[in-house]
Amino acid sequence: MTVEKKGFVLWFSGLSWAGKSTVSEGVFELLKEKLEKLELLDGDIVRSWLTKDLGFSREDRQKNLERVTFVAKMLSRNDVGVISAFISPYKQDRHFVKNNVTNFIEVYVNAPLETCESRDVKWLYAKARTGEIKNFTGVSDPYEAPENADIELNTDKETPEESIEKVISYLKKEGFM
């Protein structure tokens, strides 16, 4: 009999409009019926409550992730499954999260910049290209792609359902459900 692992942090990372929220919310909807303890931390929601005082400079992004890491750490060490969706563009910051939470699982939501721009209904990329938005990841600020993510989703080639199934399959294989 396999013993189910308890707390974990699924860390979805990728460019704006790559599909992080779509897939993470889909995974959350499937898991909330199966796991007793589960929380969803989405970048847009967290920024409107926990980190609304921060901007998008490198320093503010680091502070944002430090706060989120603290929350994820508290939850995961108490056997809560945490699903988080943050651009988290810097390898150093993702490494910090990995070293501070229980059972870190890196999910790289990989979509080409052109695909992300074509999905952008808020026109953020266009505003970044004209200089209206500063420090925009993928345009005026880098995204350092994970080299060895636990899961890589190619959302330009996969349906959201296929991406969700990849994550669920990984969690089953690794004993998290």
Contacts of 139 (CB under 8 A, 6+ apart): 125, 128, 129
Which residues on adjacent β-strands are paired with residue 46? none
- Residue 86's identity, in one-letter code, is F
Q: State the catalytic residues.
A: 88
- Smallest Cα–Cα separation from 41: which of 69, 77, 79? 69
Helices (H), the chain: 20-31, 43-49, 58-76, 91-98, 113-119, 124-129, 160-173
Burial grade of 44 (CB within 10 A; 0-12, 13-18, 19 or more): exposed
